[in-house]
Each structure stands twice: as C-alpha cells, then as structure tokens.
Amino acid sequence: MRSKQAPHRSVKPDPKFGRVDIAKLINRIMRNGKKTVAQKIVYNAFKHVSNVTKQDPIDIFEKAMQNLTPNIEVKGRRVGGANYQVPVIVMGERKNILAHRWLLDAARSRKGKPMFLKLADELLAASKGEGDAMKKRDDVQRMAEANRAFAHFA
C-alpha cells in the first residue's frame, strides 16, 4: 500500500476548446503517448457530431456526460468471511472517470469503423440516453439498487 496519498496533478486544457474535461477525455483515449492521434480522434468526432446534428458538439458532449455520470456504484467488501457488494455514493472526479471509461469501452467495442466515427456515434447515443455506455451505467445502478440491503456495511 501507499504510505501517502498520491499528489493530484492538474491537467492543462485542450488546445482547441480550452476545456479540462475534453483534455482528460483525450488523455484517456491516448495510447503509447500519441497525444496528437488522440486529439485528432476527439476533434474529428466532434466535427462529425456537429455535421450530423447541426448543433454545438460541446453541448452534445456535456449532455452525454450528464447522462453517463453515475450516482451510486457497488464496491466489494469482505465482512466475516463473505464478500458483499456494498452500494456506495460516487463522489467528485470519479463520476467523470467512470463516464469516460464507459464511453470509450463502448466506442472501442464497436467494429468496422474508424475510432472517431465510433466515438461520435457513442456520444450521440449517450446524449439521447441510449447506447452501450448507457446500458453499462444502468447495469451499475441496478446492481447497487439490488444490493441496497448491504448498505449498512459501507
């Protein structure tokens, strides 16, 4: 285990929109330190979203993130030799981390298209409350509701 809490690093805003949340999405897409490739994926996805919907892609992104952020999740807890799935309220930055993770997993699981199109499709679906990422969020919420009886272990 860690002796101290890890220091919180600040992320610089992305160059095009000047937003930290988009910069964090770019960092999560990035593989092997290729940030320019990740930026192209996100910016092309936003361009595709604006071409399809004729709306500001930032509004679509914010709506998708608002729909994807979970309120509660389950964490495994060992009590008296048994493992329980204990529902826990999701706090702070973890909401965005989970939303980004589910969005990218759903986009990567789609087959047969370039990544920017898969990301754009998943953003559009999430902004409407549909898609694989929304399904994952609903599964987590449902699991937490089902295990509400173990909330006193939290």
DSSP string, 37-66: HHHHHHHHHHHHHHHHHSS-HHHHHHHHHH
CB atoms within 10 A of CB 110: 15
What are the chain's domains? 20-153 (1.10.455.10)
Mean pLDDT within 90-117: 94
Q: Which two tokens stand for residue 82?
A: 């048994």
- Position 90 scores a pLDDT of 92
Least confident range from 63-67, 90-94, 147-151: namely: 147-151
- Position 4 scores a pLDDT of 92
Mean pLDDT within 112-117: 95
Question: Model pTM?
Answer: 0.89
Helix (H, G, I), strand (E, B) or coil at 6: coil
Predicted confidence band of residue 104 (pLDDT cuts 50, 70, 90): very high
What is d(CA 123, CA 61) in angstroms, rounded to the nearest whole number? 7
